[in-house]
Amino acid sequence: MRVAAMGDLHVREDNESSYRDLFGEISREADVLVLAGDLTDLGKPKEAELLAQDLKACSIPVIGVLGNHDYECGAHEEVAHILRDAGMRVLDGQSCEIDGVGFVGVKGFAGGFGRRMLGSFGEPAIKQFVGEAMNETLRLENAMRQVKAKRSVVILHYAPVTDTIESEPLEIYPFLGSSRLAETIDRFQVSAIVHGHAHRGRYEGRTPGGQPVYNVARHIEKPGGKPYGILEI
Ligand SMILES: [Fe+2]
Ligand SMILES: [Fe+2]
């Protein structure tokens, strides 16, 4: 299966960048399109409607997750609803299967990496922050347990490793993702993990367990010179 993956579309109300032509091209290039969050710029329903219009040009299944930008206006449920109406499978702690390949999707959360990860200590606000990261990983684990297929793709918005966020400022690493995501994924065997959120970084990386991770944010340079990556699953 050829999976096209792209994140961080950031569709705006002025709709300066239509994805119609790109979605048409992707439909000829791939069997499935995966979208890794930040589909809208401010999480406005109007932005989701513009993306929904463009998705009509897509003739292959579209699966994805929301990103932090899709939450900005507090209308993420409406955003997801509009995209689901347009035929996209918006995953939020669930899985689905297409032609023998399992897809697991969760937004994920921030918190940092490895030994420097933020711990649940001190003020209630810090504990709540860490709790949100742990909650997302528990939802990821539950979704991964549902997958029966031998081949699978994990779709995240936040980064599970630092490999693919290299060249972002070190100061913001803790806000770009969490190792807790990779620790959970490494308890299972997957074909690929895709994420977005870090607009600067590197296309390819690996989890500590050696599983391939791809930063598919639209802004990241990819092997084909396209804004989307193509994965052979
Ligand atoms: Fe983004
Ligand atoms: Fe983001």
CA of 217 to the centre of ligand 2 (A): 9
113-143 burial by CB neighbour count: b if 16+ within 10 A, else e?
A: beeeeeeeeeeeeeeeebeebeebbebbbeb
Calculate how far, in angstroms, residue 220's C-alpha sits from the geometric centre of ligand 1: 11
Distance from first CA to last CA of the chain, Å, rounded?
5
Residue 125 Cα to ligand 1 midpoint, Å, equals 25
Neighbours of ion ligand 1 (CB under 5 A): 8, 38
- Calculate ∠ Cα 36-13-70, nearest 5°: 35
pLDDT at 158 (0 to 100): 99
Closest-approaching ligand to the CA atom of 9: 1
Which ligand is closest to the CA of 65, given by its number? 2
Kindly list the structural domains of the chain, giving each domain's residue range(s) and its CATH number in brackets, ordered by start.
Answer: 2-232 (3.60.21.10)
Cα torsion at 134, 136, 137, 139 (round to 10°)? 120
Q: How far is the CA of 40 from the centre of ligand 2 (A)?
A: 10
* 67 alpha carbon – ligand 2 mean position (Å): 5
Q: How far is the CA of 174 from the centre of ligand 2 (A)?
A: 13
Q: How many CB atoms are located within 10 Å of the residue 225 CB? A: 6
pLDDT at 63: 98
Closest listed ligand to the CA of 177: 2
pLDDT at 172: 97
**Per-block average pLDDT, block size 10, for the chain (233 residues)?**
98 89 98 98 98 97 98 98 98 98 98 97 98 98 97 98 96 98 98 98 98 98 96 98
How far apart are the CA of 168 and the centre of ligand 2, in A? Answer: 13
Q: What pLDDT is stored for residue 22 in this prediction?
A: 98
User: 200 CA distance to ligand 2 centroid (A)?
Assistant: 11
